[in-house]
Structure 1
Amino acid sequence: MRESRPEVAGARAPPSARARSARGLARSLPAINLHITGTAMVATEAEFDIAKDKLKTLTKDPGNEVKLKIYALFKQATQGPCSSPKPSMLDFVNKAKWEAWNSLGKATTEEARQMYVDLIEELVSADAPPQRKATATKDGTSSFQTLDVTTENNITTITLNRPDRKNAISILMYNEIMQALEQAAKDDSTLTVMTGNGDYYCSGNDLSNFTNIAPENMEQLAKDSAARLRKYVSCYIDFPKPLIGVINGPAIGVAVTVLGLFDVVYATDKANFQTPFSQLGQSPEGCSSYTFPKIMGTTKANEILLFNKKFTAAQACELGLVTEVFPDATFQKEVWNKLHAYAKLPKNSLIYSKQLIRGVDKETLHVVNAQECDRLEERWLSVDCINAIMSFFEKRSKL
């Protein structure tokens, strides 16, 4: 969720230790700043958000000096140069933090953001066991922990890569999908394909996103989650190239609702679909409250969105949500034969054609997205939603 202010651990450490940490930061940061300025690297906001989430995955304490660096870079990246008054000499903790922040001088928010991202990447790389290391795109432009992203034969493929969790969407995965879509929109590929690794396409939201949250933080969690979801769905609404879903297995929740924003959806006959919103005390998202009735008719959409109907790939094809269904044994071969043929079409022709098709509804889709996220923010704080999620975890624990 939203990044909390990184605190300096070890509040009872001697003042001299804190002073040494602050001085060490002041000596080391200018060198980093010169490196960033010289290479003109600027991290995007999406990359900054990903770095914030990666920070939470660290299993080893990086030490007070590094924590001071993280704190200072975070403050500079989000608020700009230090402008607060210097704490008193006896306020050792806040004085060390102030000195660390102030030592960054007039470094821009963009430079601080890049330094923050670089520092977190370095810490994560040193901390992560071999099986947790990120996979990289073939052109080496970015790396991901929850996705496998490749570009080949004019096709960028984004593969959801948490098979052990049925590709459930964690906070980190949300941010990485947004980053991958942002990159795919700008690369030289003609098509973008989204699929899943393993037996599932995607099991929807990782509900552990909503666990272990202190009651006093629930309101902020709901607000941040709604903002993230709105940004996430907007990536699909605004995506300029043909976006094709290759649904390799069951799909649940938001993985289903955003399919109405894809241009073509192919599915194996082993796939099935469900949007269990009311079952979890929630409401539709992904613009499905608009796209589903438009695609499949109001009464069919109501059965799915209101009453949690689970439907097969063949039924999804009949309803218009899925373009074509293939036997599982030949699914990958048949689909990729089609995709390779599509990828040879003129890129700009496809982009301009999509603009004409999507342009009529684009403004409406953004309005619907905002309304759905506002409603979900309210739902996540409601008693029936909280009770439903608790009941879900209780049932799962008994299995």
Structure 2
Amino acid sequence: MKAAATGVGIEIDDGGLARVTLRRGEAGNAIDLDMARGLLDAARVCAREAVRVVLLTGEGKSFCVGGDLREFSRFSGEDLEKHLTAVTDALHDALRMFAASDAPVVAAVQGAVAGAGVGLAAAADVTLAADNASFTAAYTGIGYSPDAGVSWFLPRLVGPKRALDLLLTNRRVPAAEAAEIGLVSRVVSADRLAAEAAYTAEALRRGPTAALGATRRLVAAGLTTDLGAHLDHEARALVAAAASEAGREGVAAFLGKRTPDFTHVPPSS
């Protein structure tokens, strides 16, 4: 299945792998209103089609340089407020939908990653960075405060003190440091980024989607839930997973000394 929205492309193969691509490479994939709405449309398509994994990439030299300041500068006063509200509403709804899905999100990032681009990279479950990638919060440098979940994800990924350093000083973080502090999962050479991202996404596509979704939610909830409540959540999730078709297949494969086949199990099971 192929579909395209302004600034964003989405292609879903027969195996349930959704490739979501930012397609404003000539503008550094800066997020304008059309792209924000395109990401929301893509998230809706992924939810409707019950995909097994999402691979998020950006065309051109840079993954995403943040908001489209040229577009924003065309507005002022109440018009600017309305425009930015529309942009952030669409972008944030897209992030909510991707987070609520069982399907893991893999992001492959290269070149400049700034502002909301940092949010998209941080929101992914697995983020692969090319060795030429660099990350800059950028918001306060233009008198803005963060959006795209940046002020939520950064403290959880790198710690509050380091997050404030990045957010307040806007210093450039090269790929190697981004991996060291936990902003990205790992760094690969630029010429291997696409292949490594595809390999990772394919491995997750073959996985037990419902169990992957439960694991995503447990990790997110564990950051704000006390231990006793979290242990209860883990127990309920484990029982549900064990009783599922995927759980039975996984155990049967282990005991039979074979590779499990989770691809025949519907993602929502």
Matched, 1:144 2:10: no
Following the alignment from structure 1 to structure 2, what is the Cα–Cα distance between the partners of residues 208 and 218?
Answer: 12
Following the alignment from structure 2 to structure 1, what is the Cα–Cα distance between the partners of residues 6 and 84?
Answer: 25
1:331 to 176, 193, 201: 193
1:257 to 95, 116, 119: 119
Name the larger-Rg structure.
Answer: 1
Following the alignment from structure 2 to structure 1, what is the Cα–Cα distance between the partners of residues 92 and 8?
Answer: 21
Matched, 1:279 2:141: yes
Please state whether the residue corresponding to 1:286 is helix, strand or coil. Answer: coil
Following the alignment from structure 2 to structure 1, what is the Cα–Cα distance between the partners of residues 50 and 83?
Answer: 37
1:157 to 19, 29, 34: 19
Please state whether the residue corresponding to 1:259 is helix, strand or coil. Answer: helix
2:173 to 308, 311, 326: 311
2:153 to 291, 294, 315: 291
1:207 to 66, 69, 81: 69
Matched, 1:177 2:39: yes
> Which residue does the alignment assign to 1:347?
209
Give the deviation of 1:361 after TM superposition. 5.3
Please state whether the residue corresponding to 2:56 is helix, strand or coil. Answer: strand
Give the deviation of 1:148 after TM superposition. 1.9
Give the deviation of 1:350 after TM superposition. 1.5
What is the aligned length?
224
Per-residue CA distance 1:206-235 (angstroms, 9 max, x = gap): 112322225453444455455445434433
**Contact kept in structure 1, 2:131 and 2:175, CA below 8 Å:** yes
Q: Cα gap change, 1:226/1:185 in structure 2, threshold over 3 Å: closer, same or farther?
A: closer
Following the alignment from structure 1 to structure 2, what is the Cα–Cα distance between the partners of residues 339 and 219?
Answer: 38
Per-residue CA distance 1:62-81 (angstroms, 9 max, x = gap): xxxxxxxxxxxxxxxxxxxx
Partner amino acid, structure 1, of 2:212: L
Give the deviation of 1:190 after TM superposition. 1.1
Give the deviation of 1:253 after TM superposition. 0.4
Following the alignment from structure 2 to structure 1, what is the Cα–Cα distance between the partners of residues 18 and 76?
Answer: 40
> Which residue does the alignment assign to 2:54?
192
Following the alignment from structure 1 to structure 2, what is the Cα–Cα distance between the partners of residues 318 and 269?
Answer: 13
Instruction: Give the TM-score normalised by the residue count of structure 1.
Output: 0.52
Matched, 1:231 2:96: no
Per-residue CA distance 1:181-211 (angstroms, 9 max, x = gap): 1211232431111101111111111112322
| Gaps in structure 1 of 5+ consecutive residues | 1-138, 364-399
| Gaps in structure 2 of 5+ consecutive residues | 226-269
Please state whether the residue corresponding to 2:206 is helix, strand or coil. Answer: coil
Which structure carries more strand by proportion? 2
**Contact kept in structure 2, 1:272 and 1:313, CA below 8 Å:** yes
- Percent of counterpart pairs with the same letter? 24
Partner amino acid, structure 2, of 1:203: V
Which structure carries more helix by proportion? 1
Q: Cα gap change, 1:331/1:223 in structure 2, threshold over 3 Å: closer, same or farther?
A: closer
Partner amino acid, structure 2, of 1:292: L
Please state whether the residue corresponding to 1:306 is helix, strand or coil. Answer: helix
Which of the pair has the greater relative contact order for Cα pairs under 8 Å at 6+ separation? Answer: 2
**Contact kept in structure 2, 1:190 and 1:343, CA below 8 Å:** yes
Per-residue CA distance 1:27-51 (angstroms, 9 max, x = gap): xxxxxxxxxxxxxxxxxxxxxxxxx
Partner amino acid, structure 2, of 1:311: V
Give the deviation of 1:354 after TM superposition. 1.9
Q: RMSD of aligned C-alpha atoms?
A: 2.3
**Contact kept in structure 1, 2:72 and 2:84, CA below 8 Å:** no
Per-residue CA distance 1:293-346 (angstroms, 9 max, x = gap): 222122221111111011111111001011011011222223322322221112
**Contact kept in structure 1, 2:22 and 2:57, CA below 8 Å:** yes
